[in-house]
Structure 1
Amino acid sequence: MIIVYITLIELIMEFTKYQGLGNDFILVDNRHSSTPLLSPDEAVKLCDRHFGIGADGVIFALPGDDQSDYTMRIFNSDGSEPQMCGNGIRCLARFLAKLEGVETVGKSYRIQTLAGIIIPRLEEEGQVKVDMGNPFLLAKEIPTTLTKGEEKVINQFLEVGGQSWSVTCVSMGNPHCITFVENVATIPLETIGPMFEHHSVFPERTNTEFIEVVRSDYLKMRVWERGAGITLACGTGACASVVAGVLTGNCDRLCTVELPGGCLTIEWSEQDNRLYMTGPAEAVFTGVIG
């Protein structure tokens, strides 16, 4: 086990860094308090890859309530707070199992998030399967002003960076704008990503996924995450992209989604309308802040 000592804030606090397909997080045991131990500004400092620990976000494991075992809060690397994070909740599930000393296949948790109750379950070989819940498809639910509030946003045209993009919008508790392209490798993500995120039609900003259809059951994805920028993977984005692919006739309900950090298996169940995401989560190192 690697031990790392960091002095940034007036607090002595243990943490464990986890990654899910290269989407990395600082996990904090916050079970004794319903208030995160760190402020958003402190989280920004810790996420800095040159002067801090380096991460896409800080995740706090807080106490649950009558309906949940635990509560998840997350601060992005820019200090903003998203409603949910798919890769992050897989990491949180493995972190909680480690804290409890019960890393058993089949162990599941009901975790309260700002997007509602999410249920991850430990699988074999370090995999975690997550019941991500139902997608939200109406413009007002995403939210976006691309069309009327009670309408779905499917193959709508959006001008970004001097180009017209055909986009489909989905919320997985957090907003996603998905566009299908011929080759994801050619997308200038560093420049076009922020333009999508801060476009005026997205009042709460948006995550943006660029998707290349390899086969009806295999997608390639690159993502610009709201509040974090370019990341190696986005679990809610992979789920939203499969939903968008089904709605536009681009893919099947069961798909492998290849991201720069690796692959996720995503199923949009026809039986219960819920999204199921399966992928890895791995501890990287443990350290002490203070």
Structure 2
Amino acid sequence: MTAETAQMPSRIGFRKMNGLGNDFVVLDARARDLDLTPEIVAAISNRETGIGCDQFIVLENPHGDGDVFMEIWNNTGERVEACGNATRCIGGLLMQETGKDEIAIETVAGTLRAMPGPDGLITVDMGEPRLEWHQIPLAEEIRDTRGIELQIGPIDAPILHTPAAVNMGNPHAIFFVKDAGAYNLAQIGPLLENHPMFPERANISLAEVEDRSHIILRVWERGAGLTKACGTAACAAGVAAIRKKLTDRMVRVTLPGGDLLIEWREADNHVYMTGAAEFHYEGELDLAEYAGGAA
């Protein structure tokens, strides 16, 4: 910590937001630098000792031509590349703040664009899915990522096998099953997340295709665990189902927290996600308290 940051006031305002129950603490660092550490982020994100959230979001001045740069942390204090639900929330927040009808949100994974959707919802252009093995990434070359060689359980009777692999700003493995609720995802999720096939670990989803326009999805999120909703997982599941010819190009994805509408447009190869974004409350926190007085 520099002498300059040590002299900065440690109190800062925050917002609490959620997308389909996937909740966030949002700090605005556009007017001042924040001396955040993984330990501070994890302490604030802890539901017992801090404010509590699934992901921790920091807004910074844009690094390029966007309206804002969004830094994303998991609640364990680990930086991650993308979060679709947070992108919707921040897009809605900044559209309200600026009066613009389109917001460019820079992330480590690239620039995403948020715009108004129908019935007060928010639509985000999530960009093109990455489908090659080295883009996901996988530990070895697999030419067809619609179903990779991976299983859990006995060789002759695996519990789960042959997931699709997609990168939507972060890596996803999607297992298509008859009943998404029939598996103990809390138990098998960590094993699959950390499987050697995924050098950067992976988000693990169980997808149940109801019909050509509807998927039921449960998600174990990399570094965060079971989640009520994961926007990038919904996008990845939609892409995987379309690639396997199980659904049409527009599909409703039902997560424990609610529905997302996913469209993989043939015209531009981009994935569009539409869903709700909610503001809970705002308050003020003292970074020094979460750093043991060292913020």
With structure 2 as the length reference, what TM-score do the two structures score? Answer: 0.89
Alpha-carbon shift at residue 129 of structure 1 (Å): 0.3
AA aligned to 1:152 is: D
Question: Given the superposition, is the C-alpha separation of residues 240 and 169 from structure 1 closer, same or farther in structure 2, using an over 3 Å criterion?
Answer: same
| TM-superposed deviation, 1:48 | 1.0
Distance of 1:250 and 1:268 partners within structure 2: 14
Q: Which amino acid aligns with 2:42?
A: V
The answer for the alignment partner of 1:128 in structure 2 is: 122
Distance in structure 2 (CA, Å) of the matches to 1:15 and 1:37: 15
* Selected match of 1:225 from 201, 221, 224: 221
Q: Percent identity?
A: 39
Which blocks of at least 5 consecutive residues in structure 1 are unaligned?
1-9
Tell me the CA shift for residue 101 of structure 1. 5.6
1:17 aligns with 2:16: yes
Task: Tell me by how many angstroms 1:219 deviates.
Answer: 0.3
Q: Secondary structure at the match of 1:133?
A: coil
- Using the TM superposition, give the Cα deviation of residue 257 of structure 1 relative to its aligned residue in structure 2, in angstroms: 0.3
Q: Cα deviation per residue 1:245-283 (whole Å; 9 max; x = unaligned)?
A: 011121111000000000000000011100000000000
> Residue 155 of structure 1 is aligned with which of 147, 151, 164?
147
AA aligned opposite 1:206: A
Whether the 8 Å CA contact 1:126–1:282 is kept in 2: the answer is no
Whether contact under 8 Å (1:157, 1:166) holds in the other structure is yes
* Deviation by residue 1:1-26 (Cα, 9 ceiling, x = unmatched): xxxxxxxxx82111010000000000
Counterpart of 1:62? 60
Counterpart residue type for residue 220 of structure 2: W
The AA in structure 2 aligned to 1:82 is: V
- Distance between the aligned counterparts of 2:233 and 2:64, measured in 1? 29
Matched, 1:196 2:192: yes
What number of residue pairs does the alignment pair up?
274
CA distance in 1, matches of 2:175, 2:247: 13
What does 1:167-178 align with in structure 2 at a 5 Å threshold?
167-178=163-174
List structure 1 runs of 4+ shifted beyond 4 angstroms: none
**How large is the Cα RMSD of the aligned pairs?**
1.6
C-alpha change, 1:284 and 1:82, in structure 2 (3 Å) is same
Q: Is 2:106 the counterpart of 1:112?
A: yes
Q: Deviations over 1:16-51 (max 9, x none)?
A: 100000000001111125x55532211111111111
More deviation, 45-54/123-132:
123-132
Check 1:271–1:218 CA distance in 2 against 1; reply closer, same or farther (3 A cut): same
> Which moves more between the two structures, 62-71 or 18-27?
62-71
2:41 is matched by which residue type in structure 1? A
Contact 2:151 2:162 in 1 (8 A): no
TM-score, length of structure 1 as denominator length: 0.90
Per-residue deviation, 1:61:
1.1
Is residue 255–residue 267 contact of structure 1 (8 Å, CA) maintained in 2? yes
Cα drift, residue 222 of structure 1: 0.1
From the CA coordinates, give the structure whose radius of gyration is larger: 2
Q: CA deviation at 1:226?
A: 0.5
- One-letter amino acid of the counterpart of residue 141, structure 2: K
Q: Give the aligned partner of residue 273 of structure 1.
A: 269
Partner of 1:46: 44
Gaps of 5+ in 2: 1-8, 287-295
Superposed CA offset, 1:53-108 (max 9, x none): 1100110111013321110101101111111100011111123244x263x6xx21
CA-CA distance at 1:126 after TM superposition: 3.6
Q: Does the 8 Å contact 1:263/1:279 carry over to 2? A: yes
Letter in 1 for 2:104: R
Q: Distance in 1 between matches of 2:253 and 2:131?
A: 20
Contact (CA 8 Å) 1:161, 1:195: kept in 2 or not?
no
1:123 to partner: Cα distance: 3.3
Q: Distance in 2 between matches of 1:101 and 1:276?
A: 22
Q: How far does residue 237 in structure 1 lie from its aligned partner after superposition?
A: 0.5
Letter in 1 for 2:230: C
5 Å-filtered alignment, 1:66-81, equals 66-81=64-79
C-alpha distance in 2, partners of 1:138/1:193?
Answer: 23
The residue type equivalent to 1:137 in the other structure is: L
Residue identity matched to 1:211: A
Q: Which moved more, 1:44-53 or 1:202-211?
A: 44-53
CA contact (8 A) 1:59 1:92 kept: no
